[in-house]
Amino acid sequence: MIRVTKASGMGLVVGQTRFGFQRYGVPEGGAMNFLSMARMNAALGQSMDAAGFELTGHFKFEALEPFSMMCGPASAKVKINEESVHVGQLISLNSQDLIEIMPPAQGLWTQVAFLGGLDVESVLGSRGLCTAGGFGGGTQRLLKVDDEFGIDSPLTIGKVPSIALPALSQTDDPVRLRALKGPEYDMLEHSVNLLPTKWELSTNSSRMGYRFESSLELSHLLNLPSSYACTAGLVQMPPDGQIVVLMADAQVSGGYPRYASILQSELWKVSLLLPGQSIEFDWVSFSDACQYNKKSQDQWCRFEQAIAAFRG
């Protein structure tokens, strides 16, 4: 059992994505840094169905009974009983231990995976909170002080390896993102003199979308496409000429011109950005995207094989 003792920011229970409910208007959700959460759950020997926390801001918790957890991303700042601990490795806690989570050095979000997962009911295919619909996540809302969560017993207990977690390199400025051109890209290119190549993350961002600014000023209104389906990674251009990268809690339909779509395997990089940091798109063909995705899939297989070998 764990109790929230300080909630200065936004925190919520996240689980696997709520896939297959788009027809009801239900967003997929899941962690902003899906790769960090997936790696930690894999290291803990559990599926993405195991629920954890994702937090931005300053949070404190008290362990009400012994349990184990792991935190990410690589730059997460976590203290146990006021002592800093390493991320990407198993942290074992005793009753009354105090956990403090501060904003990470990269991005806004810290992920916490629990060995066994949080004991919250699965609703429409996920234990995570649906922020738009106000359901799931145990409490049906964001974390508040005095919320308490049980932790399920792990299905199997094996050795837990220390793992590398996602991080941006110091030289990643601007951060380069592989992307496909969106269906309305050509229309956008013809509507403005010059499309910017560099976009800067604004403070006006949320779990639904990260807003990026540039020097672009549209001199006339763009033709809007008819409504369409959205998934995380889609890059829209609203009438103000800025762009919005749809993130984990993005709504399922949209209507602004689609400038691009970032490859799914690159989206974790966006979650590690801070306001003021810049991105540039590396345009890839569909066939290149397939090849790059295959490489990412192979890397993931090797990661899982290394964990299996470690566990014996």
Partner 1 sequence: MNEHFQLHVVSDRLLEFNFPRLSDALRFRLFKALERQQADIAPWQVFWVGQKVALISPRSITSDHEFDHLYQHVSGIFAQLNSFPNEKFDSHHFEVQFGSDYSPDLERVAELNRLSVRQWVEQFLQTEFTVGFNGFLPGFSYLSGLSSNLQAPRLQAPRKRVLAGSLAVAGQYCALYPCDSPGGWNIVGWVNRQVFSVSHEPPCLMMPGDTVRFSEVK
> Is there binding between residue 125 and partner 1 (CB under 8 A)?
no
> Is there binding between residue 287 and partner 1 (CB under 8 A)?
yes
23 class by beta-carbon count within 10 Å (0-12 exposed, 13-18 middle, 19+ buried): exposed
> Which residues within the stretch 227-256 sit at the binding site for partner 1 (CB under 8 A)?
227-229, 231, 233-234, 251-254
- Closest to partner 1 by CB, 52 vs 137, is 137
Interface segment toward partner 1; rule CB under 8 A; list 24-32, 79-87, 110-118, 157-165? 24-32
Output the CA–CA distances (angstroms, integers) from residue 58 to 8, 103, 112, 152, in the order listed: 5, 6, 13, 25
Binding residue for partner 1, selected from 35, 37, 123, 168, defined by CB under 8 A: 123
> Is there binding between residue 263 and partner 1 (CB under 8 A)?
yes
Interface segment toward partner 1; rule CB under 8 A; list 2-10, 124-132, 147-155, 303-311? 124-132
Instruction: Tell me how far apart the alpha carbons of residues 88 and 70 are, in angstroms, rounded to a whole number.
Output: 6
Closest CA relative to residue 60, chosen from 113, 117, 100, 1: 100
Rounded to 10 deg, the angle between the 34-43 and 286-311 helix axes is: 30
- Shortest Cβ 56–partner 1 spacing (Å): 19
- Shortest Cβ 28–partner 1 spacing (Å): 9
- Shortest Cβ 30–partner 1 spacing (Å): 10
Binding residue for partner 1, selected from 1, 64, 90, 135, defined by CB under 8 A: 135
Hey, what amino acid is at 162? S
- Closest to partner 1 by CB, 72 vs 125, is 125
Q: Which residue has the tokens 């990643």?
A: 172
Task: List beta partners, residue 8.
Answer: 58
C-alpha 19 chain-centroid distance: 15
- Shortest Cβ 250–partner 1 spacing (Å): 11
Report residue 287: phi and psi, to 5°.
Answer: -65, -40
Hey, what amino acid is at 58? H
> Is there binding between residue 302 and partner 1 (CB under 8 A)?
no
> Which residues within the stretch 162-201 sit at the binding site for partner 1 (CB under 8 A)?
180, 182-183
> Is there binding between residue 290 and partner 1 (CB under 8 A)?
yes
Q: Which two tokens stand for residue 295?
A: 């490489």
Total binding residues for partner 1 by CB under 8 A?
45
Residue-wise over 211-226: b if at least 16 C-beta within 10 A, else e? bbbeebeeeeebeeee
- Shortest Cβ 97–partner 1 spacing (Å): 34
- 210 in helix, strand or coil? strand
- Shortest Cβ 12–partner 1 spacing (Å): 16
Instruction: Tell me how far apart the alpha carbons of residues 185 and 182 are, in angstroms, rounded to a whole number.
Output: 5
> Applying CB under 8 A, which residues contact partner 1?
17, 19-27, 123-124, 130, 132-136, 180, 182-183, 226-229, 231, 233-234, 251-254, 258, 261, 263-265, 286-287, 289-290, 293-294, 296-297
